[in-house]
């Protein structure tokens, strides 16, 4: 069994920081679960263009506020505690931070390896070792 605390990831290479989010990747591809499991903080007032062409992602919003806009149809959804969204169609979207840090728990299938960041098109690479 694997038992970890998010504090074991903070400050390590598996806490990935960008200008718009911080991702603490607690379970990774190498753990063999078939998914990866992250705590992510979306920074207030930011916008991130995301298009997970190679992954499915489900997101559970725990605290804070923000917004997601699906680009294909221009629909906007408010994000806050208890909201869950699943990018079951690899939906290209804008993820926006609100007034407060938005803390979410994310699952990726297939799992990320640990160091992925979005490329210019909002994509994570298919298989990083």
Residues in contact with ligand 9YT by CB under 6 A are 21, 23, 38, 40, 50, 57, 59, 95, 104, 106
**Closest CB to ligand 9YT among residues 1, 7:** 7
Minimum gap (Å) between residue 90 Cβ and ligand 9YT: 12
- Nearest-CB residue for ligand 9YT: 23
Least spacing, CB of residue 77 vs ligand 9YT, in Å: 13
Two structure tokens written together for 29: 């591809």
Shortest approach of ligand 9YT to residue 73 CB, angstroms?
19
Of 28 and 59, nearer to ligand 9YT (C-beta) is 59
Among residues 29 and 38, whose Cβ is nearest to ligand 9YT? 38
Sheet bearing 56-63, strands edge to edge: 15-17, 21-27, 36-42, 102-109, 56-63, 84-86
Nearer CB in complex with ligand 9YT: 23/28:
23
Q: Measured from the CB of residue 62, what is the shortest distance to ligand 9YT in angstroms?
A: 12
């Amino acid at each position: 069994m694997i038992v970890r605390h998010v504090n074991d990831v903070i400050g390590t290479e598996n806490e990935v920081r960008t200008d718009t989010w911080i991702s603490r990747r607690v379970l990774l591809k190498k753990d063999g679960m078939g998914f990866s499991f992250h705590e992510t903080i979306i920074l207030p007032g930011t916008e991130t263009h995301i298009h997970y062409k190679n992954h499915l992602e489900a997101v559970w919003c725990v605290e804070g506020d923000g917004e997601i806009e699906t680009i294909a149809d221009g629909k906007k959804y408010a994000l806050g505690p208890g909201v869950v969204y699943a990018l079951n169609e690899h939906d290209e979207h804008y993820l926006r931070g609100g007034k407060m840090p938005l803390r979410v728990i994310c699952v990726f299938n297939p799992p990320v390896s640990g160091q992925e960041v979005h490329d210019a098109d909002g994509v994570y690479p298919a298989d990083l070792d």
